[in-house]
Structure 1
Amino acid sequence: MKLVVGLGNPGSQYAQTRHNVGWLVVDEVARRWGAVWRKEKDAEVAEVRVGSAAGAKVLLVKPQTFMNASGKAVGPLLAFYKLGGDALLVVQDDLDSPFGLLKFRLGGRHGGQNGVRDIIRVLGTPDFPRLKIGISRPPAGWDPADWVLSRWRAEEVGTLAELVRLGADAVEVWAQAGLAEGQARFNGTDLRPKPEPAPQPEPGAAGAAYAGPRDHH
């Protein structure tokens, strides 16, 4: 059994906000495998077997405690299923990564993400894997607390859908093959628009402008 925790806030008013991208990813995994969400302790959970009927058994988790108290939902579930931090994957939004980036990371500081902060507090260690999905720093004049609770912009929706799809793929790879394989396959993910290449001169154009040396005799 492995636990995949998507961080977010309960309530329809938060469903399409940046802070809830972790929920979008675990919802996509549940949808793929036909899992049904049920209430358990301070969370909604859905059980899937990734890959096949005999595949990796994964409990998807959406804490119902609000972001700042995510550890209150995660800690008891780990204890109940007798799991350590290596069996836990937290899917989170990441202010310090540009929107369009996705990467796995093991341990490290919480980076101001209050759900991760509370899970570290409850577990007493930062040493658990995370799948970090970039939401970018806020534009000038925005408070970070307002930015993470803001809704996705229309021009971001296409990239968001691809990030969620890749995030679900990454969860499945982690569950079946482990963190190192997940890092190798997904840590180069960058969906940011690529700059247009500089126009190249037409073949022969440079030569056509040069008629060769003149004969001055």
Structure 2
Amino acid sequence: MIPQLIVGLGNPEPKYDQTRHNIGFAAVDALARAWNISLAENRKFQGQYGEGTAPGGVKIRLLKPLTYMNRSGQAIQAVTSWYKLSGESVLVIYDDLDLPLGKTRLRLSGSAGGHNGMKSAIAHLSTQNFPRLRIGIGKPKNAVNGDNSETVSHVLGKFSATETQLMSLVLQFVVECVELSLKQGVEKAMNRCNSCTVEAPKS
């Protein structure tokens, strides 16, 4: 399967910029820069949207829903309905607490795993059978089982300076993984994307 729409999940307000939960937005921004695609607010699609040509001559659409995380599916559905895209042609990029920093996971399908943005995407696409790329943000250092407040402040917190350096390398790797998905299909890209760990530069 070759994706036709790539969606990054996040929250729209400036206070959420650069937070761990908005790494999906950062990934789409990185793709837009790499492919020279300009993103602009599109009311019909309830998000920042752009289209252009990715490496290999593939026509691609990029979307950052501006609906807030737990209603992301509304924006995704607006684009898929308008362009008559199947759910399977949508690649969703988002943050994952259960993966450490530097790890990414590309999958062809699966559950939401407790992620509200993905719950909304699955509900609006009426299927779990669409590819997703999870970017590890790690668990809070002092996490106690059942302590939700610690998790929320971690997810909505910003990366440290050292983590920011690492995440810029992760985003470069994400661009590489997505380009491989577009050229060879998600299945082939999974081998590369899931077997590597991006490491912080040696100081």
* TM-score (normalised: structure 2): 0.89
After the TM superposition, which segments of 4 or more aligned residues of structure 1 sit over 2 Å from their partners?
none
Deviations 1:194-213 (A, max 9, x none): xxxxxxxxxxxxxxxxxxxx
Which residue matches 2:184? 177
Structure 1 residue 74 and structure 2 residue 81: aligned? no
Residue type at the aligned position of 2:97: L
Amino acid in structure 1 at the alignment position of 2:104? L
Query: Tell me, what secondary structure is at the counterpart of 1:190?
Result: coil
Query: Distance between the aligned counterparts of 2:142 and 2:62, measured in 1?
Result: 36
Once residues 164 and 65 of structure 1 are traced to their aligned partners in structure 2, the CA distance between those partners, rounded to angstroms, is: 23
Between the aligned partners of 1:146 and 1:15, the Cα distance in structure 2 is 14
Query: 1: CA distance between counterparts of 2:111 and 2:101?
Result: 20
CA contact (8 A) 1:174 1:182 kept: yes
Summarize deviations over 1:129-162 as a string: whole Å, max 9, x none. Answer: 0011001122225522221100001121211010
Query: Contact 2:35/2:55 (CA < 8 Å) preserved in 1?
Result: no
Which letter maps to 1:155? Answer: T
Aligned match of 1:7 in 2, 6, 9?
A: 9
| Alignment match of 1:164 (pick from 162, 171, 183) | 171
The counterpart of 2:142, out of the listed 129, 140, 143, is: 140
**Structure 2 residue aligned with 1:49:** 53
Supply the AA of the counterpart residue of 2:47.
A
Provide, for residues 99-144 of structure 1, a one-character-per-residue CA deviation record: whole Å limited to 9, x for no partner: 1101201211111111001111111211110011001122225522
Residue 174 of structure 1 and its aligned partner are, at CA, apart by 1.2
Aligned 8 A contact 2:98 2:138 in 1: yes
Does structure 1 retain, via aligned residues, the 8 Å contact 2:40–2:49?
Answer: yes
Residue 204 of structure 1: aligned partner: none
Larger Rg: 1
5+ long unaligned stretches in structure 1: 194-217
Q: Which structure: greater helix fraction?
A: 2
Identity in percent: 37
TM-superposition CA deviations, 1:166-217 (whole Å, max 9, x none): 1111112212221111102211121256xxxxxxxxxxxxxxxxxxxxxxxx
Within a 5 Å distance, the mapping from 1:1-217 to structure 2 comes to 2-40=4-42, 41=44, 42-51=46-55, 55-141=57-143, 143-192=150-199
Letter of the 1:111 counterpart: G
* Greater relative contact order (Cα < 8 A, sep 6+): 2
* Structure 2 gap segments, 5+ residues each: 144-148
Q: Is the 8 A contact 1:4 1:59 kept in 2?
A: yes
> C-alpha distance in 2, partners of 1:28/1:73?
20
Structure 1 window deviating more from structure 2 (32-41 vs 147-156): it is 32-41
Alignment coverage as a number of residue pairs: 191
- Distance (whole Å) between structure 2 residues aligned to residue 110 and residue 144 of structure 1: 17
Question: Following the alignment from structure 2 to structure 1, what is the Cα–Cα distance between the partners of residues 142 and 192?
Answer: 34
Residues 108 and 187, structure 2, Cα contact 8 Å, conserved in 1:
no
**Separation in 2, partners of 1:50, 1:34:** 9
